Amino acid sequence: MRILGPDDAPRGRAPSRTRLLPAGGGETVHVLVDSATQKVGVEDSAGTLSVVEVALSPGGGVPDHLHARDDETIYVLEGSLDVRVGDERLSLGVGGCAFAPRGTLHGFGNPGFAIARLLLISSPAVTPERAFLELAAGFAVGTNTGRVSPAGAAAGALATAFRALAASRDVTLDEV
């Protein structure tokens, strides 16, 4: 058996770099009280994967959507999440994990009364802006946890704007 080394790395991409982050480290984006912190990004992994830590307030979440170009793993660190992947729905506690291959409808929400924390691992890597977009879409259109969306025509316009922005980033939000 041959052990792979640096010379076996795929050609045509920049080498990965090491990264050590203390607790709380990384670039953070906020949507109201929810946040997403990039732990491993595009530059760190030469685009192969990203790791984002998300903190969701009670009722917060990401509406059903799909990614055309990347797979996503959801791993619960704290609290609980109601998760949809394809036609399946499950409540996940600490240590629970869900995998959504590219092209699979998925979404999640915090049904609890405390902050939920999770890791989103995407392959290939995604940017912090996409995490912001998905959290903001949750605010605009509501989530599967039964949270009420902002009322009136402004909410509809905001949801339409997020759908257009999401589409420009290869994310398709499910119609709610």
In this model, does residue 64 exceed pLDDT 80?
Answer: yes
Q: At what angle do helices 128-141 and 152-168 cross, to 10 degrees?
A: 150
Please report the domains of the chain, with CATH numbers, ordered by start residue: 26-170 (2.60.120.10)
Contacts of residue 42, Cβ cutoff 8 Å, sequence gap at least 6:
50, 125, 126, 127
CA end-to-end span of the chain: 52
Rounded-to-10 torsion of CA 39, 77, 83, 162 = -30
pLDDT digits (tens, 9 = 90+) for 68-124: 899 999 999 999 999 999 999 999 999 999 999 999 999 999 999 999 999 999 999
pTM, 2 dp: 0.73
Nearest residue to 61 via CA among 110, 129, 111, 98 = 110
